[in-house]
Amino acid sequence: MNIEKIRDFLNNAEGVTDWQLRHVSRDNTTIIRLPGIYTIKDGRFLREPNPHPREVITAPSETVQINVYSEFKADGSTWRGDTIGQLTSDDPAALKPVVDSLVDGARSQKNKPYPLTDGSERYPEVELADPELADLDAPGLTGLTQRFNDGVVAAAERLERVDVSNIELFVRRTRTRVLTSTGVSVGSTSTRVDVELCFLARPDDIHFGEHTARLTARRLGDLEPDAIVAEAGTMARDIALAGAPPAWQGPVVLLGEAAADALTVTNTPAGFHANARFVYEKAARYKKGKPVSGETSIKGEPLTLISDPLVPFGVRSSVMSDADATAARPVTIIKDGLYADLLGSRRFYAYLGLLERGIAPPGITGNTVVPAGPAPVDSLASDGSIVIRAFSDFDVDAASGDFSCEIRLGEIHSGGHRKLFKGGLLVGNWFDAIGDANYSKETQVRGAYRGPRAVRFNDLKVTD
C-alpha cells in the first residue's frame, strides 16, 4: 500500500483532526523440523527416523494501522476521541467508509484534549536487527537456521534417553514506518526469532516426561543449542522422574525461567500499579517514594525494577511507542523497594500534569532489568527450602497481587538431598513476597528479562 496516498486522503478527510499511520511490512519464515516419528508398541515408546523431517514456509505480510483523532464539542466542552483500525487498501473509495466509521467511533469518546507527539520528538538509536539475518536471501536464511536446528538435534543426541521431538523456528524481519499529521516521520528495521522445542524423556520403560522450551531473541546467535538442550532436556527427564508435591510453608526459591516469570514487568502487579492510566483512574496503589510492599516492612533485599526499551537487541526494545509514536526511554519503576517513575502513554502523562513538569512518557514497556543480588544461587537454594524451576503458568492478579500458580517442576532440598516433584500450587501475594526476598549474584538473559537467575522468597506456601 502507498502510505503517502493514504496520508493525502486523511489530510482532507471530514471529521479527522489528527491521524497516525503505522506501516509494517514483514518477511516471515517458519521452519518446522520433526526429527523422528514416535509410536507406542507393546507398552514401549519407540522412535523411528522421519523420512520427511523438514518443512519451510515463507510468507510476506503488510499491515497499515491507523489512529484517527477527532475533536468535537459536546455539553459545552471540547473533547478529543480516538480510535484504531486496520487499512487494507489505499484506494480513496475503500478508505472513506473505514475512516468515516473510525471518526464516528472517536466522537463517541469524551476524552479531555491532550498534546500529541510532534515533529520535534527526538528518537533514540537502538540496535534491533541481527546483521546476520537482516539481508539474507531465502536460501541463505534457510541454511543459517538449519545449522541451529542441527545443533539442537546433535546436542539432544548426547543426552541419554532424551529426544527432541519437534523444532519450530519462526523468523520475522520487519520494517516499520510511522507518519503522523503532527510531523512525525520515523522508521526502524528489526528482526525477531521465536523458537519452540519439545523434548521427550524416557529415563526407563516406566517413566515418561515432556517439556517444551519457548525462547525469543532478536539475534539467532543469542540462542545457544547446547545450553538450551542441557536445560530443557534435563527438565523433561526430571519431570518424568518427579513425584507428588509436598505441603509446605517456608523459603521458596524460583530458579531460571521461574524467576524470570515472577519478575518480568509485564507479568507483575507493578506493571499495573505503576501505570499512569490506572494511577489517573485511581485504580492503582502507586505512591511515589512509598514502599511497593505496602504495609509489609521490607525484611530482605529491596527490589529495583527497571523497564528499559533501549537494550541493544532486546526483545522488547524499540525506538517508539506503537500507540502514540512517543520516543522510547528507560523507566525505573521501583527503586530500592520504593515506587519511582511511571509507565504509560502521553495521554495519561498529560492528564496527571507530568508533561507540564517536563517529564516525558516512556513510550513503551521495555525489557525488564533487575540488578544482581549479593548471594550465589547455591546459598539461596539451601537445605530446608523448595526450588521451583518451572511453572505451568505464572498468573498473578494485577490489582491484588494474589497468585496461585501450578508448579511444572520443583525440588525439595532436605538433609543434603534433592527430591523432585511436579504439580501443586505456589500460593501467596506478590507484594508480600517482594517485601521478604533475596536475589542471586548470578544473572540470566531470558527473553525480555535481564536479572538474577534466582530469587528466594522467604515465606511462601506450596499446597498439594
Task: Check whether residue 237 and residue 254 sit in a common domain.
Answer: no
Task: Check whether residue 171 and residue 36 sit in a common domain.
Answer: yes
Q: In the listed set 241, 261, 289, which residue is the last one of a domain according to the structure?
A: 241
Task: Check whether residue 303 and residue 451 sit in a common domain.
Answer: yes
Q: Tell me how far apart the alpha carbons of residues 385 and 318 are, in angstroms, rounded to a whole number.
A: 39
Q: In the listed set 217, 241, 265, which residue is the last one of a domain according to the structure?
A: 241
Q: How many domains does the chain divide into?
A: 2
Q: Tell me how far apart the alpha carbons of residues 395 and 2 are, in angstroms, rounded to a whole number.
A: 42
Task: Check whether residue 16 and residue 38 sit in a common domain.
Answer: yes
Q: Are 453 and 442 in contact (CB under 8 A)?
A: yes
Closest residue by Cα to residue 67 from 135, 101, 18: 18
Task: Check whether residue 200 and residue 305 sit in a common domain.
Answer: no
Confidence band for 294, pLDDT divided at 50, 70 and 90: confident
Q: Tell me how far apart the alpha carbons of residues 89 and 75 are, in angstroms, rounded to a whole number.
A: 37
Q: 21 or 53: whose pLDDT is higher?
A: 21
Task: Check whether residue 103 and residue 37 sit in a common domain.
Answer: yes
Mean pLDDT for the stretch of residues 139-145: 88
Q: Which three cell numbers stand for residue 307?
A: 523497564
pTM equals 0.92
Task: Check whether residue 277 and residue 235 sit in a common domain.
Answer: no
Closest residue by Cα to residue 388 from 455, 304, 464, 435: 455
Task: Check whether residue 357 and residue 263 sit in a common domain.
Answer: yes
Q: 39 or 437: whose pLDDT is higher?
A: 437
pLDDT recorded at residue 54: 80
Task: Check whether residue 153 and residue 231 sit in a common domain.
Answer: yes
Q: Tell me how far apart the alpha carbons of residues 233 and 163 are, in angstroms, rounded to a whole number.
A: 8
Q: 363 or 303: whose pLDDT is higher?
A: 303
Confidence band for 43, pLDDT divided at 50, 70 and 90: low
Task: Check whether residue 181 and residue 282 sit in a common domain.
Answer: no
pLDDT recorded at residue 161: 87
Q: Tell me how far apart the alpha carbons of residues 287 and 265 are, in angstroms, rounded to a whole number.
A: 18
User: What 8-state DSSP symbol labels residue 320?
Assistant: B
Q: Tell me how far apart the alpha carbons of residues 376 and 260 are, in angstroms, rounded to a whole number.
A: 17
Task: Check whether residue 356 and residue 231 sit in a common domain.
Answer: no
272 — phi, psi (to 5°)? -80, -50
Task: Check whether residue 60 and residue 168 sit in a common domain.
Answer: yes
Q: In the listed set 241, 259, 282, which residue is the last one of a domain according to the structure?
A: 241
Closest residue by Cα to residue 440 from 455, 450, 430, 460: 455
Residue 253: give the domain boundaries. Answer: 248-463
Q: Tell me how far apart the alpha carbons of residues 145 and 446 are, in angstroms, rounded to a whole number.
A: 20
